[in-house]
Amino acid sequence: MNAIAGTTPWSRPLRLEHLDYSVLQQCMHCGMCLPTCPTYVETKLERNSPRGRIALMRGIADGKLGVTEAFGEEMYFCLGCLACETACPAGVNYARMFEEARADIEDARVLAAPQRDFVRAIMLRLVFTRPLLLRALGRVLRWYQASGAEWLVRKLRLTALLPRDLRELEPLTPRVQRDFSDALIGEHEAPRAEPRHRVGMLTGCVQDLTYSHVNRDTVDVLLANACAVVTPGAQHCCGSLHAHNGELHWAREMARRNIDAMEHSAGGLESLDAIITNAAGCGSHLKHYDELLADDPRYAARARVWSTKLRDIHEWLVEIGMRKPGCGTEPGRVTYHEACHLCHGQKITRQPREVLRAIPGLELVELPESTWCCGSAGIYNITQPEMSAKLLERKLTNIAKTGASVVASANPGCSVQLEAGIRASGAEVEIVHPITLLARAYRSTPAG
C-alpha cells in the first residue's frame, strides 16, 4: 500500500473526506468478499480486493493517504461488479464509496493524459449527453456495417493499420439496429383490453442503438400484461456511465433530464404505477436517483418518487403476476447469465428465472458461476482489455459446459461482450434478452 501514499495535487475538498464516515466503517475486514472478487482471484493481491480498496479509501478519508496516480489506477482496475456487496455480511455500501473515489480521482487529475482527457471529453461530456449526436454517430456506424464497408475492411485486413489498442477493440463493435426505439414504439400505447396498470418505459442509450428490438419486445410484453405504456422519445443516457467514471455532475444532469422527460410524457410521475427498465446496469443506477439528487431542492422530492416507482422488467412482471404464454417456441436448452448490476446491484436473481421457466418448451439449465462478471463492466473491456479478456474466456468456458444453444442476458453491455466472444470462438450460440424470448412466446400464442 505504500505505493499509494502521497499528497493530493488538488485543493478541492475530497468527497471521501466528507462522506458519512459510517459508510467507510461498515467494512469489518472479514475477507468474505475475497473469493467473490474477480480481480483478487486473478492476482491474489490484497490491494486488488474490495477489502484492500476500502482500506485505501479510509486512509484517504482519514488524511493518511493522498489521491495519487497509483490510487487512481487501482480504483479503475476495479470492475465495479458489486459481487462484494452480495458476499458482505455487514452490508457494506461499496458502490457509494466506489463512485465517490472515482470522482475524487477525476477532480485531482492524477490520471490526466492528453489522449484520455480527449476521449472522456468527447464521449462522456459530449456524445453521451446529447442523444441526437449519439444517434447520428450510430447511423454512421450502421451505414458502415450494413453497406459492406466493414466486411471489406476486414477482408482486406485493413484493421491491421489501426493502432494496437483500436485493433483489439474493433471486434467488440456492437451491431447498430436499422431503427431506433422511437421509430418502433409510440409515445403512448395501450393494450387491447382495459389496462390494469400504467407504466413509463425507459429505452436507454446503448440499448436504443444496438438493442432497440428488445425495447419493442418489452413494450409488447407489457401490453400483453394489461399495461398502458408511456415512452418518451429520444431519451437521455441514464447517467450510470458518468457516475461510474467520476463524472457525478453529469450523472446528476442526466437524472434531471430523464425525470423531466418522463414527467412531460406521462403528465407527472404520480400517474405511473411503475417506471420500467430492461437494462441491468442502467436499472441499478436509475433506482438511486433519490440519493443522487438528495441535495437538489428542485428535484429531490421528484427523484424520491422516481426511485420508488423504478422497476426492472422481470421484477415488475413477477410483482403483477405475469400472464403465462399458451404455446412454446423453439428455444430448447437455455442458460441464464446474471448481469452483475441485476443480481448484485439490484438483488434480482429469482425473477428472470421465473420469467424463463414460464415459457413452454424452454429448458433452463443453470450456468456455472452465473453471477461471475463477464468482463464487460461498462467500459472495462475498453480500459482494461487484458483482464476483461480473461473474464470473458472464463464465462465462455462455463457457457460451453451447459450445452445450451441460447444464453439469456439482460444487460446490453454483457450482450455485446458475449456476442463478441461467441463470434470469435465460432460457437453456434444465440445471445437473447429473456424478455425477447417471452415476447416470442406471446406472439406464437393464438389470440383469444
> What is the DSSP code string of 7-61?
--S--SPPHHHHS-HHHHHT-----TTGGG-HHHHHH--GGGSHHHHHHHHHHHH
User: Is residue 97 domain-shared with residue 124, that is, in the same domain?
Assistant: no
User: Is residue 352 domain-shared with residue 250, that is, in the same domain?
Assistant: no
pLDDT at 2: 40
Q: Are 76 and 102 in contact (CB under 8 A)?
A: yes
pLDDT of the chain, 448 residues: tens digit per residue: 344 544 444 445 677 877 776 777 788 889 999 999 999 999 999 999 999 999 999 899 888 889 999 999 999 999 999 999 999 999 899 998 899 999 999 999 999 999 899 989 999 999 999 999 999 999 999 998 899 998 898 888 888 877 777 777 778 788 889 999 999 999 999 999 899 999 999 999 989 999 999 999 999 999 999 999 999 987 899 999 999 999 999 999 999 999 999 999 999 999 999 999 999 999 999 999 999 999 999 999 999 999 999 999 999 999 999 999 987 666 789 999 999 999 999 999 999 999 999 999 899 999 999 999 999 988 898 889 999 999 999 999 999 999 999 999 999 999 999 999 999 898 999 999 999 999 999 998 765 4
User: Is residue 106 domain-shared with residue 153, that is, in the same domain?
Assistant: no
List the CATH number of the domain containing 37: 1.10.1060.10
CA distance 326 to 332: 16
Q: Is residue 16 part of a domain?
A: yes
List the CATH number of the domain containing 432: 3.40.50
- The alpha carbon of 117 is separated from its chain's Cα centroid by a whole number of angstroms, namely 23
Q: Which of 265, 290, 323 is the last residue of a domain?
A: 323
User: Is residue 308 domain-shared with residue 186, that is, in the same domain?
Assistant: yes
Q: Is residue 190 part of a domain?
A: yes
CA distance 137 to 154: 20
Q: Is residue 220 part of a domain?
A: yes
User: Is residue 187 domain-shared with residue 97, that is, in the same domain?
Assistant: no
pLDDT at 32: 94
User: Is residue 91 domain-shared with residue 154, that is, in the same domain?
Assistant: no
Q: Which of 90, 112, 134 is the last residue of a domain?
A: 112
User: Is residue 290 domain-shared with residue 351, that is, in the same domain?
Assistant: no
Overall domain count for the chain: 3
CA distance 51 to 100: 16
Q: Which of 279, 304, 323 is the last residue of a domain?
A: 323
pLDDT at 155: 85
Q: Which residue has the cell 484517504?
A: 60
CA distance 273 to 358: 24
Phi-psi region of 373 (alpha: psi -120 to 50; beta: other; left: phi over 0): beta
User: Is residue 384 domain-shared with residue 364, that is, in the same domain?
Assistant: yes
CA distance 184 to 70: 47
pLDDT at 125: 92
pLDDT at 3: 42
User: Is residue 199 domain-shared with residue 221, that is, in the same domain?
Assistant: yes
Q: Is residue 381 part of a domain?
A: yes
User: Is residue 418 domain-shared with residue 340, that is, in the same domain?
Assistant: yes
Q: Is residue 3 part of a domain?
A: no
User: Is residue 138 domain-shared with residue 259, that is, in the same domain?
Assistant: yes
Q: Which domain holds residue 434?
A: 332-443
User: Is residue 294 domain-shared with residue 371, that is, in the same domain?
Assistant: no
pLDDT at 5: 44
Q: Is residue 5 part of a domain?
A: no
Q: Is residue 18 part of a domain?
A: yes
pLDDT at 159: 81
Q: Is residue 436 part of a domain?
A: yes
